[in-house]
Structure formats: C-alpha cells, structure tokens
Amino acid sequence: QQEAGSEKVTIGALIRNTDEQFVADYAENLKKLAAERGVDLKLLDSRSDQAMQLDQLNVLLTQGVKHFVIVPNVTEATEDMAKKIDAVGGGAAFSNIQPSVEALKVSPNFYLASSPESVAGQIQAQILDEYFQAHPEKMANGDPNAIDAIFLYGQLGHPAQVFRSEAAVKGLKDAGYTVNIVAEDTANWKPDEAQAKMDTWLAAYSGKFDVVIANNDGMALGAVESLLTNKYTDDPSDPTKDVDGDGTVLRVPVIGVDATGVAVKSMSEKKLFATVLQDAVGQSTTAFELAYMMATEGSATGKDAWGISPLTEVTGESPATDAAIVGQCYLVPFAAVTMDNYKEFMQ
Amino acid sequence: MAQDQNYILEMCNITKKFPGVLALDDVTLRVRPGTVHSLMGENGAGKSTMMKCLFGIYQEDGGEIFVNGKKENFSSAKHALETGVSMIHQELSIVPERSVMENIWLGREPGKKLGPVQFVDHKKMFKDTETLLKNLEMEFSPNDRMGSLSISHQQACEIAKAVSCDASIVVMDEPTSSLTETEVNHLFKIINSLRDKGVAIIYISHKMSEIFQISDDVSVMRDGKLIATKKASELDEDKLIKLMVGRDMTNRFPPVDSIPAEVCLSAKNYTSDVERSFKDISLDLRKGEILGLGGLVGAQRTEFVESIFGLRKIKTGTLSINGKEIRIKSPEDAINAGIGLITEDRRGSGIFPLLSIIDNTSIPSLKGCRKKVGFLDHKKIFNTATGINKKLRTKTPTFHTPIQNLSGGNQQKVIVSRWLMTLPEILIMDEPTRGIDVGAKYEIYTIMSELVNAGKAIIMVSSEMPELIGMSHRVAVLCNGNLTGVLEKNDINSENIMRLATQFE
Amino acid sequence: MDTKISAVADKKGIVTLKTIQHTLGKHTNLVTLVVLIVALGIMTGGRALQISSLQNLMVAEAVRAFAALGVGLIIINRGIDLSIGQVVGLVACVSASLAQTSDYAGALYPGTVFPVFLPIIVGIAVGTLFGIINGLLVAYGNLPPFIATLGTMSIAAGLQLIYTRASTIGSLKNEYKHIAQGSLGPLPYLMIYVLAAVLILWIMMTQTRQGKAFYAIGGNPQAARVSGINVKLNLLKVYALGGFLYGISGVLLSSRLGLANPLTGDGMELDAIAAATVGGISHSGGIGTIGGIFIGVFTLGIITFGMTYMGVDSYYQLLVKGMIIIVAVYFDMKRHAKRA
Amino acid sequence: MDTKISAVADKKGIVTLKTIQHTLGKHTNLVTLVVLIVALGIMTGGRALQISSLQNLMVAEAVRAFAALGVGLIIINRGIDLSIGQVVGLVACVSASLAQTSDYAGALYPGTVFPVFLPIIVGIAVGTLFGIINGLLVAYGNLPPFIATLGTMSIAAGLQLIYTRASTIGSLKNEYKHIAQGSLGPLPYLMIYVLAAVLILWIMMTQTRQGKAFYAIGGNPQAARVSGINVKLNLLKVYALGGFLYGISGVLLSSRLGLANPLTGDGMELDAIAAATVGGISHSGGIGTIGGIFIGVFTLGIITFGMTYMGVDSYYQLLVKGMIIIVAVYFDMKRHAKRA
Ligand SMILES: Nc1ncnc2c1ncn2[C@@H]1O[C@H](COP(=O)(O)OP(=O)(O)OP(=O)(O)O)[C@@H](O)[C@H]1O
Ligand SMILES: Nc1ncnc2c1ncn2[C@@H]1O[C@H](COP(=O)(O)OP(=O)(O)OP(=O)(O)O)[C@@H](O)[C@H]1O
Ligand SMILES: [Mg+2]
Ligand SMILES: [Mg+2]
C-alpha cells in the first residue's frame, strides 16, 4: 500500500554491512542526498546476512517501497531480489557487488552503478607494476619477473576478499610477472590479526618477500605497524627515513584498498605505500540518482547519472558482458591513491 | 561356588578400590528373602559403597553378585532395576523442577500405545501415584512440584518410589535421616508389609532403636570389611556397638554438667517475612546452655534458626547478643557476632565438593589466619584445620582430599569442624548428627559438652528424641511456626515434647 | 490427626497460589511478546500489523526457529551449542552444491544431475553427524559442552571453506528453491514446517518417556541416572537431535536463499540461544517448553522486524536488541530468583 | 589402637600415590604445551624456536592473556563472559580516540591535546564499567551469565559503531604507542605487564581471603553464603575485575596497533575462553589456577604461531585449531571424569 497523502518520494536502501568502511561511507552519502532532495530514505543494514537482506526487502515491499538502492551480500542473490521488486513494478540500482546478468535481464529498471570489487585488485596490480618497473632492485630473489608476495585476506568467502585477491594476482600475471605467494592467510579484515600474522611471517620469511598485499586498509595498516615495530625499515635506527627513495620507509611496499583517512595519513608519513579508492560517494550518488529518476520520472533508461553515461558496448567484466543489458551498466571509476596524488584524498 | 537357594541375594568377596582407599575388602553379604537385613557400621565403613556396587552405580573391582542364585553383573542402575533391585539413596536424588509423580515414575512411566508410538499415560500415572501415596498415607498431591516439598516429604517420595518398583530386593540407605518419629513408624509399616510379601530389605541406619525394631539379620562392617552377620535376636545395643566400633561404649551421651549462666542471645517477637512460616517467637539462650529445638517436620525450626543466622529475612523481631541489640542481615554479620550454623542440608549448603578438607574446614575462619601483611598463614590454617578434624576422627586418606570423596558421615564431621574452628560463642546445629555413627555422635556430643562447659551456648535443632532428651538443658518446641512451649530440664520427656509438637492453634 | 488436616489445608492454599504463580510465570514470555507487538502497533499506527507482516515474520524466523528448537532442547539438558551457525552454514553449502542446475558451468559438480531429495537428505545427514560428534564429545568424552562445540564450530567452519573453496554456490534448481519459497495459499511452506516441528517436539517433550528423560537429566543428572536412565545415551540423542534440526535449518536456508556461501549461518548460534532463553529455557537445565522456544523466536523476530519496519539505524539496533534481551530474560528470571 | 595405626599406614601409601597423581594432573596442560613446542621445533627443524619467536609469541598473546585471565576468574566463579571481544574493541576505540595526534585532521577530537594517561584511564574505566554492569546483571539481576553478557556484548558493539561512526581511528601518538611497543632490553613491555598481572592475580588467588572466597563461590555458592561470604558482592567484584582486565587488554591493543576500528577485538571472547579452558579452568566452577590460564594462552598461541609459521593453508587452520582444542581439553578432563 502506497502511503496515502504523502507526495514524498520513497527510496529503499538495502546495505550489506555498515561495519565496513566503504559501505558506511556509501550509506552516509545516501542519507545526505536524501536530505537534500527531500526523499524519504528507508535505509537498512543486513549485517552481512543475506537472509536478513531478503527479510528487509520483504518488509519494505509490504510497506509499498518500489525503488531501491542495493549493496548486495552476494551476486547470486541479486536475481531473486530483482524478481521480487519487479513483481511490484519497481526497480533497483546495485552497487559494489555486481548483480548477475540474469538480475539485470529481469527488466530494464535494474542497473549496475558500481566499480566492481575486482577493479580494486587490478589497480593494486598496476601500482605494483609501476613500482617494480621503477625499482627492479627491490625484487627479493633477483628475478625481475617474479614477484614474491605476502597476501592478507579479508574474511574468507567474503565477495570483496575473493574478487580483490583474484584480480590482484591476475593483474600481476597479465603484466608479465610470475606471482610467487610466499605466505597468505586471512586476518578477517582486522588490523590486530594482520599485525600478529605479519609478526610471525617476519620471523619465518624475513628478506624473502617483496610486497605485502592486503584486501583492505585496516589489515594493511596492521602489517605496517608490525613492520615498523620489527624495524623492517630502510633504516632500522630511524623509521622515518626513506633511505632508498622508493616512497616508503619500509623495506617493502604495503598496499591496501579503501583509502580511509587513516590510511592516507599513513601514506603522508611514507609508511603505507599505496591504496585504492573505491569511490563510495560516486557509487552511491550514481545509484541514488538512478533510483530517484525511476521514482520521479518512471524510468532512467538511457539517462546519465552523476554525469556518467551507460555503457554502449560490452566489456570483459561481468555483468557488462551481455549486449542485451549493457545499457543498464554505469561504471564508476576507481582511483589509485599513490605517493603522487594522495594529498587530494586527505581529509 | 554352589549357590544356596535360601538366599535371594549373595554378594561374594566384593572388593572396591578408590584412589588411595580400599573401600571394600573382600566383603561377603548374604540376604534371605522376606527378611530385613540391617547393615551397620561406622561412617566410612563402606556400607553405601557396597550398595552402590549392588545397584550398578559402582563397578566392583573383584567379587561376584548373585540374585536368586543367578550371577549378575550390573552395569547400570537401569540394569539393577530391571532385575528387581531398587534403592533409596543416602543423598536425596530428586528432580526438583518436576512433579511428584514424574519423579516417582521416572524412567518407567506407564505407557499407552497409539499406533507405533508409545505415549506416557498421564491419567494412569496420576491414579497410580494417588493410590501409592494414599497407601503410604502421604498427604500431598501427585502434581506438586517436588522442589516445593520439605526435605522430609521429598524423602518420603523417594521411599514411595522405591516401593513402587515391585522389586524383590529393596535397599534403603539411611531412609529415616530426615523423617520424624511418626513418619518412621509409617515407614516401618511399609517395610513389614513388603517383608510379608517376600521382599528382602537391606536397611542401613545409624539409629540403634530402629535396628532392633525392624531387623531380622544384622551385618556389621568396619573399615571396608565385614565383621559379622548375626540374627537380631542374638544382639543387644551394647554388643552391636562393640562390633561396630571395636570397643565397649557404655554411655551414649557424655555428662552435660555445665550450669547455664546469663542470657547471651535473646530473640524477641521473631516473625518471618514469608506468610506461612514462623511467627512471634521469643526465646532466650544462656551461656553454658544447650537449648534443644524440637518439633515435627515442617514446624519451621530450620527457618527460624536460619533467620537468626541472617540467611532468611524477618518481618519483625529484635535480636540481642549479650544484652546488646544487633541486626543480623547476612551470615557474615552472624559470624562476626560469634554465631555459627551447621545447616541441615549438607550437600546443598554445606560442602564445597571439589575443595579439600582443609579448605572446607577453614573457609569461614580465614580472617583470623592471616599474617601481618594480610596474606594467608597456610601453616596455621593447616594445623588448626587438621587438628580439629583429627579430634573428631574424620576418616580420610589425606587432608588435601576433596571432601566429595568422603563418606556422608565424615563429610558431616568436616562441617562440624568448620564451625568449631570459628570459635563461636553461640553454635546453632540443625540436625547435627544426621547420618553420623554412634561413635562419632559421642564425639560430637563430647565436643558440645566441652563447648558449654567453656561458657559457650548451643542451639540444637533435632528430630531425634533421645538426643533432645539426653543433651538439652531446656527444650523449646515449635509447632506450625508457633512456639508452643519451653520445657525445663525436669520436664523433658517424649510425651511432653510430642504434646507440644502437636499443639496446633 | 491434626497434622494431616492442616497439611491438607496447607496444600490447598499452595495449589491455588502455585497455580496462579505458575500461570503467570508461564506467561512472562507471552506477555513480553504481546507487549512488543502492541508497542509496535502503536508506534506504527497499526500499519506494521498486517497479515503480510505476519507472513514476513514467519518466513524470516523459520530457519532460526529450527536452530532455536535444537539448541533449546540441548540447554534443557544442561548443555550449550556454539557450533550451530557453522554447522547450518556447512549444511547449506553442501545441500546447495547438490542442488545446482546441472547446466551451470560454475557448479561444484557441473553436468551431474542429482535428484531433488539428495541435497535434503545429505544436508540433514551432515547436520546430524555434527550433532553426534558433539554428543559423543560431551557425553562420552566428558568435555564441557561450551568447549566441545567451540571445537566443532571451528571444524565446521574449516570444512565449509575447504568444500566451497571460499566461493558462493548459486544457481540452484527451482524445484529445490520451491521447498522453502513455496506456499499453500496464504500459508508459506516454511511456516508449515515450523508448526509441524513444534507440534512433534511438543508431543515428544510432554507425552513421551523421552521427554521426561530429557527434563530429568536437565533437572538432576544423578537422580536421572539412579532412576535407570542412560544419561550418556540421552545426551548423545539430544545433541544428535539438535544436529538434525540444524540440518533442516541449513537445507531450508539454502533453499530459501537459492545460494550458500561460507558466510551463511555465521553467528546464528547466538541468536538461537538468545531466542531459546528469552523463551524461558533456563541455563541451569530442566526448565522450559517447546512453546516457550517458539515464543522466544518470535519475540526476537518482532524486535528485528519492528526495528526494520521503523527503519531504526543499524548501530542503534544492536543497542536496543541487547537491552531487550536483558530486560526480557530479567523478567523471566524473577520467578526463578529464589533458586539462585 | 588398631584403627589408628591402619589409618596412618593408609595415609602414607596414599600420600605418595596422590602426590604423583596430583603432579601429573597439574601437568596435563604443561605437557600439552611442551608437546606442541617440541612438535613445532621438529617440524621446522628448530628454526621456529628462536628467542625472537618467543618474543613474538609473548607480544602476540599478551593482549589475549589479559582477556583470558579476566574470563578465567569469572569461570572459576561459575560464570561466563561473551562480552569480552566487544568490550575490548570499545575500549580500544575509546582509548585510541583520546590518543590521536592533535594535528591529525581526521581525529575524533582534532586539535585537542589530551595527556597520555587519559586514554589509559578512560579506557580501563570503560572496561571496568562494563564489568560492573555484567556483575550487576548476574549477581543482583539473577540473569544467567551467558545471556547477560550476550546482551552487553550487543550493547558494546552498538556503542562502538556509534562512537566511531564505523571508521578507523588511527594516527596515534608515539608516546601512546610506546606503552605497548616499547621494550626493556630484550624484554618487551607487554611481556612485563603480563607477568606482573599473572603474579598479582596468583597472589590474590592463593594467598588472600579474596581468592579463597572466589574458589568457594565456584565450588558451592550456597555453602559459601552460609560460610559468611557475600556471594553477590563477590560476583560483582569478579566481573568488575574481569572488566578491568579487558580494559587493560583494550588499551594495550590500541597502543600496540596504533589504531582501532569496530572490528578490533571481534571474537576475542571465544579465544579467551578457549585458552582458559585449555589451561584447566573447569566450567563447573571452583577449579583452575592462574598459572594454568597462562599456560592455556600460550598453548593456543603456539598453535596459531606454528601454523602461521609453517604456512598451513588457512582453510585447514580452522580445522586443526578446533581439533587441538578438543584434544587438549579432553586430556585435561580425563582427570575430572569421575565427577561427571
Ligand atoms: N567416590 C569416591 N571416591 C573416593 N573415595 C570414596 C568415594 N566414595 C566413597 N569413598 C570412600 O570409601 C569409603 C566408604 O564410604 P561409604 O560411603 O561407603 O561409607 P558408609 O559406610 O556409607 O558411611 P556413612 O555411614 O558415613 O554413610 C570411605 O572411606 C570413603 O571415603
Ligand atoms: N516450600 C518450600 N520450598 C523449598 N524448600 C522448602 C519449602 N518448605 C520447606 N523447605 C525446606 O525444607 C527444609 C525443612 O523445613 P521445614 O520447615 O519443613 O522443617 P523444619 O522443622 O523447619 O526443619 P527440620 O527439617 O530440621 O525439622 C528446610 O530446609 C526448608 O528450607
Ligand atoms: Mg553411607
Ligand atoms: Mg567490534
């Protein structure tokens, strides 16, 4: 039942888990936009539980909500959600975790407004490729084509963990490196676990790895702290000096994802080497505008959102691989945050 | 060994070891059908252990058990029950949250088939329980929650349960330890009718009078060995005691010749804050006096003394110690005021099962066992605690043994030691000799006598007439929460006590 | 005799008093639930209380209800089970992997056509197997249930990752999804399953020897043992039954979601235990009813539902939920207070 | 007298037997730890067993050790505490927010200069406050500890998110980080803190009335009450002490990491409880030593350390950890078996 007597536009937002930095920023921006446009935003957090997200969708549907912004928990769940929304004649824009091709095929009112997780991994690979091009001497085993990497994963099975990790390895391989994984383990997104793991790895693999790749900034910072306290720095007596001029005071670069304030601050101290900005503001604005257009104009098909136009031809990345729905895909660019540009991202 | 058809039960050469203890040493016990066979012995002699081996709770380390001439090797209580052995346990084994009838029929509820499924027939269960309780003249409903009954009624339920099993051998391990005289007489009626039906009853008790009232045969154990099996008619109390303790014991009560002096504790208008409990009780206790507190079960004696000790709340009433009015709101206050309390529920509120005898003895007294810096003086604790326990002849492998490994009576001795160690001015003892053998009883009485001789005072709640009569300077009697009278030394006798105990309104 | 007459009078008094107390006591949980529902109704101007809301609620809580019933029975037997969430998750993954459409290239067993009943049976079997392991550890290994199930929780989590290689198992067959997503007129299947389970377990607990044995073991294991009840075997049984119910829970979860991944089920143990406790299951054992567990599940359900409906900020949801659990159980405990 | 002589003889024999048993019994945990260390040594050809490894282990486990000590004491008093992880996390966030460099624009209180002791005091105060709330709920509210602390766990998690707005609090002052990162020669400060805590708590538990009171309450609360111990007050004390120790744990965690976020501390309760149990603290109360908890922490620590060192696949790590917990506690339980 549509709420009678209320002319207000209502948008439902189903958000994966606001414990995560990216998602929290995404949600904050949605609230801001809703306040600006006078939209009644019903924002719900599923705490990483897909069953709960489904329940929340059901509740909003019974409340008469038709248009949604969704950060799903899993790609595979998007088709079912799309079908439910389509059944009441509504539509949705998916962010961050890609919807499946089938989900977008449910109706033209379903959109991708995202930078897929895998792009974060790709950018990590690009940054590292540039780094090793410039500093071939930093390769631990002397082979300029083999990267000895340590990986810190997020919670295993979490989509961000899976896609970011796979893409980073693939990106390095595509750039022509052999990737030799010296050590890998989950730290469940947590800085303290990452620190403990790194401590142990330093005992086992000191001098045998040339990069630490983390699925998020939190773990990257935990690893940085471990390297600092274990004096794994260019100059063990002064951990603030970047002796070899590679952009980091640590003996190896550490790289994360998220570009949180703390991470950028760490970069300004030449501790963390680089990170990747998942544009939470960009993604949420795009998704919000798509949902808003659907609610106010009936459809968003073919229109620009946040200045981004829909794709016109297929790309190699799902779901924009199917010509039938390529016009429903809005790709929000990722940004590499490096020593050259980090100041732009300072809070 | 050829089995004699004259015996319904033969336990041959039973041996049972516990870590550090040889609880049963080659014990042989033979029981004839249709008899009451009493098992006597000091605390820790091995009586309960013997019966637990029979009932499948413990596995004997050596020996054989024959029931009706057939060799049996009970692996569990279930097995024993199925073979026709039932048992009333020394420690209450009830499920407080369930109803009386569910407790009684637990594990063998009457069933009715409904298709392939066996359901519990609640109607039949209720009827059967009602009949059973009526036959035993017990006045509570099958639907009452077990935990809401008094300890004595709970024990009565256990008796009903054992009887209802239609067993050919019924073991009763101190079934009367919390029953009053009327209820005991009742139990004896039941036992007699069972005996007439050919059931063999193995009866364990520390109460001499009962033994001679009911037994056909008597076996005596000491230190894990069987000393003798005799016909009850061949024995008298003195002979029996000699067999049990290995020496003559002429007196059962030591002389209590202290002369009560000034009043040290005075309770005025004590009324419980619970509706149907004790009301308006005023009592004085003098230094050097043993004040007996008698009454039927349910008379609220326990509630009254626990209120004095600060365990229960009162609505009105004042308490003075040595003429000074004080308020006791917790046991801590009571202990600080020089009062000690031995509770009646040893397992529930007495022992710390896993802690050592030393800890169990010393816990309320630790304040006085500290060095200058405030740390505990372990040496002093050890010496004091072991000293008192040795005096009471607590039987234990070491004083570091967890108290749960001791026999029931020895646990009680540790609890008595605990309160003696606090050097109380006033000691309240709620059924102090429950489950204690004659020898140890005498020791406890001696200590009571010594205490009053030294000017301390004792309140003794007891359901044992001889004890009340033998030890008290005065006896106060409660009935239904009212103080119905205080008997002076010369008036103390069974008739007077019973008269006051049944003086309702 | 005087004694008897007064005893009878006493008892009568007790019966009435007890009965009232009992009735009121039993209702503490129901009262909480009703209060919450009324409060929600008032706060939303009645809008939240429609048939469709009730359906939503039932569907949302069904999966959790099975877990709560399982752990509720275990708590009645003085146990606890922390492995629930991971076992449910493992079952969901295993059953999902056997229910994938055979033409899906990303399937775990691509090209293989399994009959629809297979994932159900295998899933429930996996759950039961974990229940049996828990039972063996607790009953025969004498491990404290907290620790035994903490161990199996970790093991189930590991197996889940190994089996799925940390990926999501999706694209399940429609027939399989229908099991949990279908409905009989206005009645969702899930609701029917839950009601059936509640009925069967209620009969077991109140009308059979098995139920009496469980209550006795929870109330006083020694007493149960000397009454001829095989305590160890019964503990094994109740953990196995718990595992069986988690198995159903896991199958329904994957069927309802149409997918499963290693995060599925995470943390469900705490919700299930909280629900059982709010429903009046006592952690000291021997106390609680199947109906109570059912009420407990819906009490927590209505809290989540209400907060979702009203759009309460998720950070504050945690706060509110914690407080409501404490308050609900506090009132329920007041009647047990004297036993402390 | 015969009786006496035989009793004495008995006792002598018993003393030796008891002593050996006792010693062996006490050593179950230590034996487990030694076995694991030796196994690790063999498997890594001795490489894993260097001084630096030991330091790593100490440092890595120090934070957890405080939590395990806290919950160990609570378990000795027949309690449990699920709120640990979230309380530690909340403390870490609060203390971190008061220790940020004042020139950091992203700080929670940018531009404000707090003295270094402030985050320590406030952090520990927050921990203690939660301990007191837990204690009040358990002791005076008669809530089952599992549920009371489940509630406060949820509350602490909510507060953490509200306080930090789900973001990471970083850029902590060097003086503050020095508290946990510094070392005295080869001795990391963290190790000194832990050893000091172990010593103090050991003295408390074995040499003072307070310790005896805790053991007595764990052994039989009713009997403790009759013995003049204020059971409720002591329960409040032990939960408050637990909270105090979690407070220290949280402060050290943020100091060591140099940052804190809402994930910090998550799940630490299970690790801490597992460590205490592996160290011989019995869940039925009244049994366990401070030294045992210490050993338990390092037993689990060496498992994590060893598996990380050897690069065991993370999927299998969960499996192995679950199994080792079960096995370690199983052997420890064998000696308690007869009490079941
Ligand atoms: N579970 C046990 N572990 C170790 N020792 C035990 C155990 N049970 C009994 N004992 C020991 O076995 C001996 C016999 O104990 P038992 O309980 O059979 O004595 P009892 O004759 O029944 O005494 P009471 O009259 O006091 O009940 C005692 O020395 C006791 O300490
Ligand atoms: N309704 C009840 N619920 C729980 N326990 C009870 C109840 N009534 C009595 N008791 C317990 O049963 C025991 C016996 O108390 P009761 O008042 O029946 O007898 P008493 O004369 O005071 O004591 P005694 O057993 O020493 O003769 C006490 O420990 C009391 O706490
Ligand atoms: Mg005995
Ligand atoms: Mg957290």
The CA B370 to ligand 4 mean position distance, Å, reads 44
Is chain A touching chain B, with at least 3 CB–CB pairs below 8 Å? no
Nearest chain A Cα distance for residue C173, angstroms: 13
User: Any idea how long chain D is?
Assistant: 340
| Start-to-end Cα distance in chain B | 64
pLDDT for residue D192: 94
| Separation between Cα atoms, residue A108 and residue B40, nearest integer Å | 93
The CA D307 to ligand 4 mean position distance, Å, reads 25
Whether residues D18 and B330 touch (CB distance < 8 A) is answered with no
| Separation between Cα atoms, residue A44 and residue C307, nearest integer Å | 9
Let me know how many helices (H) and strands (E) chain B has, helices first: 17, 22
Is D23 at the interface with chain B, CB within 8 A? no
| Average pLDDT for C15-44 | 73
- b/e burial code for range B136-163 (CB count within 10 A of at least 16 → b): bebbbbbebbbeebebbbbbbbbbbbbb
For the CA atoms of D70, D71, D75, D80, what is the dihedral angle to 10 degrees?
140
The rounded Cα C15 to chain-centroid distance in angstroms is 33
pLDDT for residue C337: 52
The residue type at D196: A
Q: Evaluate if residue D7 carries a pLDDT over 60.
A: no
| Separation between Cα atoms, residue C236 and residue C220, nearest integer Å | 17
Q: Using alpha carbons, select from C296, C320, C295, C298 the residue that is nearest to residue C307.
A: C320
Tokens coding C128: 């039961």
| Average pLDDT for A303-314 | 88
ipTM reported for the complex, 2 dp: 0.88
Tokens coding A318: 């799902």
pLDDT digits (tens, 9 = 90+) for B84-132: 999 999 888 899 999 999 999 998 899 888 888 889 999 999 999 999 9
Please name which ligand lies nearest the alpha carbon of B88: 3
Nearest chain A Cα distance for residue C69, angstroms: 19
Nearest chain D Cα distance for residue B113, angstroms: 35
Q: Evaluate if residue C9 carries a pLDDT over 70.
A: no
Q: Evaluate if residue C20 carries a pLDDT over 60.
A: no
Q: Evaluate if residue A201 carries a pLDDT over 50.
A: yes
pLDDT digits (tens, 9 = 90+) for D42-96: 888 877 787 777 778 888 899 999 999 999 999 999 999 999 999 999 999 999 9
Is chain C touching chain A, with at least 3 CB–CB pairs below 8 Å? yes
Residue from D22, D206, D227 to probe the interface with B (highest B Cβ count within 10 Å):
D227
> What confidence tier does B505 reach under pLDDT thresholds 50, 70, 90?
low
Please name which ligand lies nearest the alpha carbon of B478: 2
Our mutation pick for probing the ligand 2 site, out of B293, B302, B344, B465, counting the most ligand atoms within 8 A of Cβ, is B302
Helix (H) or strand (E) holding A28, with range, is helix A21-37
What residue segments make up the domains of chain D, in order of their start?
49-339
Helix (H) or strand (E) holding D54, with range, is helix D51-76
Q: Evaluate if residue B437 carries a pLDDT over 80.
A: yes
Q: Using alpha carbons, select from A23, A25, A35, A117 the residue that is nearest to residue A70.
A: A23
Residue showing tokens 């010693």: D23
Strand partners, B270: B281
pLDDT for residue B329: 92
Which among B330, B367, B397 has CB closest to D209? Answer: B367
Put simply, the chain A residues between 97 and 156 with a CB less than 8 A from any chain D CB are 153, 156
Of ligand 1's atoms, which has the minimum distance to the CA of residue B396? Answer: 31
Helix (H) or strand (E) holding A12, with range, is strand A10-15
Q: Give ligand 2 pocket residues (Cβ under 6 A).
A: B 148, 150-152, 178, 295, 297-303, 344-345, 430-431, 461, 463
As a whole number, the mean pLDDT across chain D is 88
> What confidence tier does A117 reach under pLDDT thresholds 50, 70, 90?
confident
pLDDT for residue C336: 62
Strand partners, A214: A152
Is chain B touching chain C, with at least 3 CB–CB pairs below 8 Å? yes
> What confidence tier does D167 reach under pLDDT thresholds 50, 70, 90?
confident
Of ligand 1's atoms, which has the minimum distance to the CA of residue B174? Answer: 27
Helix (H) or strand (E) holding A54, with range, is helix A50-62
pLDDT for residue C3: 35
Beta-carbon count within 10 A of B269 CB: 13
As a whole number, the mean pLDDT across chain A is 90
Whether residues B363 and D216 touch (CB distance < 8 A) is answered with yes
Q: Using alpha carbons, select from A80, A45, A94, A112 the residue that is nearest to residue C259.
A: A80
Nearest chain C Cα distance for residue A12, angstroms: 10
pLDDT for residue C340: 33
> What confidence tier does D2 reach under pLDDT thresholds 50, 70, 90?
very low
pLDDT for residue D335: 63
Cβ of B23 closer than 6 Å to ligand 1, yes or no, is yes
The rounded Cα A111 to chain-centroid distance in angstroms is 18
For the CA atoms of A22, A23, A27, A28, what is the dihedral angle to 10 degrees?
-30
| Separation between Cα atoms, residue B192 and residue B199, nearest integer Å | 9
Q: Evaluate if residue C55 carries a pLDDT over 90.
A: no
Three-state DSSP at B258 gives coil
Nearest chain B Cα distance for residue C283, angstroms: 13
| Average pLDDT for A89-103 | 92
Phi, psi of C227 (to 5 degrees): -90, 10
Angle, CA of B89, B93 and B95, to the nearest 5°: 160
Determine the topology of domain C49-339 in CATH.
ABC transporter involved in vitamin B12 uptake, BtuC (1.10.3470)
Q: Evaluate if residue A142 carries a pLDDT over 80.
A: no
As a whole number, the mean pLDDT across chain C is 88
pLDDT digits (tens, 9 = 90+) for D281-331: 998 889 999 999 999 999 999 998 889 888 888 889 899 999 989 998 898
| Separation between Cα atoms, residue C92 and residue C58, nearest integer Å | 20
Map out the domains of chain B with their CATH numbers.
Answer: 9-245 (3.40.50.300), 261-338+426-505 (3.40.50.300), 355-423 (no CATH)
Note whether A121 and A193 are within 8 A (CB). no
| Separation between Cα atoms, residue B14 and residue B65, nearest integer Å | 8
| Average pLDDT for B194-213 | 91
Q: Evaluate if residue C10 carries a pLDDT over 50.
A: no
Q: How far is CA A192 from CA B123, B277, D253, D265, in A?
A: 63, 60, 8, 8
| Separation between Cα atoms, residue D184 and residue D206, nearest integer Å | 29
pLDDT for residue D216: 96
> What confidence tier does B374 reach under pLDDT thresholds 50, 70, 90?
confident
Nearest chain D Cα distance for residue B363, angstroms: 7
pLDDT digits (tens, 9 = 90+) for B212-266: 999 999 999 988 999 999 999 998 888 888 888 887 777 788 988 899 999 999 9
Lowest-confidence pick of B2-6, B453-457, C141-145, D11-15: D11-15
pLDDT for residue D162: 93
Q: Cis peptide before A319, with omega less than 30 degrees from 0?
A: yes
Q: Using alpha carbons, select from A293, A292, A280 the residue that is nearest to residue A345.
A: A280
Q: Evaluate if residue C63 carries a pLDDT over 90.
A: yes
Tokens coding A290: 């798509």
Whether residues D209 and B398 touch (CB distance < 8 A) is answered with no
Q: Within 13 Å and on the Cβ side, how many CA atoms surround A164? A: 31
Of all protein residues, the one whose alpha carbon is nearest to atom 7 of ligand 2 is B150
The rounded Cα A180 to chain-centroid distance in angstroms is 24
pLDDT for residue C250: 97
Burial (0-12, 13-18, 19+ Cβ within 10 Å), D157:
buried
The residue type at B56: G
Which among B21, B349, B400 has CB closest to D226? Answer: B349
The residue type at B451: L
Of ligand 2's atoms, which has the minimum distance to the CA of residue B430? Answer: 26
Q: Evaluate if residue A222 carries a pLDDT over 70.
A: yes
Whether residues D162 and C315 touch (CB distance < 8 A) is answered with yes
Burial (0-12, 13-18, 19+ Cβ within 10 Å), C222:
middle
| Separation between Cα atoms, residue A45 and residue A57, nearest integer Å | 11
Closest chain C residue to B113, measured at CA: C208
Those residues with Cβ within 8 angstroms of residue D116's Cβ, 6 or more apart along the chain or in another chain: D99, D173, D175, D176
DSSP 8-class letter at A75: G
| Separation between Cα atoms, residue B498 and residue B477, nearest integer Å | 9
pLDDT digits (tens, 9 = 90+) for A39-92: 999 999 998 889 999 999 999 998 899 999 999 998 889 999 999 999 999 999
pLDDT digits (tens, 9 = 90+) for D175-200: 999 999 998 888 899 999 999 999 99
pLDDT for residue A4: 42
Strand partners, A65: none
Closest chain A residue to C170, measured at CA: A76
Strand partners, A67: A11, A91
pLDDT for residue C25: 56
The CA B221 to ligand 1 mean position distance, Å, reads 12
- b/e burial code for range C148-183 (CB count within 10 A of at least 16 → b): bbbbbbbbbbbbbbebbebbbbbbbbeebbebbbee
Is C44 at the interface with chain A, CB within 8 A? no
Q: Report which of residues C70 and C309 the model is more confident about.
A: C70
The CA B151 to ligand 2 mean position distance, Å, reads 6
Q: Evaluate if residue C22 carries a pLDDT over 70.
A: no
Of all protein residues, the one whose alpha carbon is nearest to atom 8 of ligand 2 is B150
The CA B312 to ligand 4 mean position distance, Å, reads 44
Which among C56, C256, C262 has CB closest to A156? Answer: C262
Phi, psi of B20 (to 5 degrees): 85, -5
D-chain residues within 8 Å CB-CB of C314? 161
Which strand ranges, in their side-by-side order, compose the sheet holding A10-15? A40-45, A10-15, A67-70, A91-94, A110-114, A329-331
Highest mean pLDDT among B50-59, C325-334, D179-188: B50-59
Whether residues C319 and D147 touch (CB distance < 8 A) is answered with no
Cβ of B21 closer than 6 Å to ligand 1, yes or no, is yes
Which among A44, A48, A62 has CB closest to C263? Answer: A48
| Separation between Cα atoms, residue D22 and residue B82, nearest integer Å | 39
Lowest-confidence pick of A257-266, B237-246, C230-239: B237-246
Burial (0-12, 13-18, 19+ Cβ within 10 Å), B110:
middle
| Average pLDDT for B154-183 | 87
Residue showing tokens 């045969």: B217
Q: How far is CA A215 from CA A159, B168, C168, in A?
A: 11, 74, 18
| Separation between Cα atoms, residue C301 and residue C61, nearest integer Å | 6
Give me the percent of chain D exceeding a pLDDT of 70.
90
Phi, psi of A314 (to 5 degrees): -70, 150
| Separation between Cα atoms, residue B259 and residue C279, nearest integer Å | 61
Helix (H) or strand (E) holding B114, with range, is strand B111-114
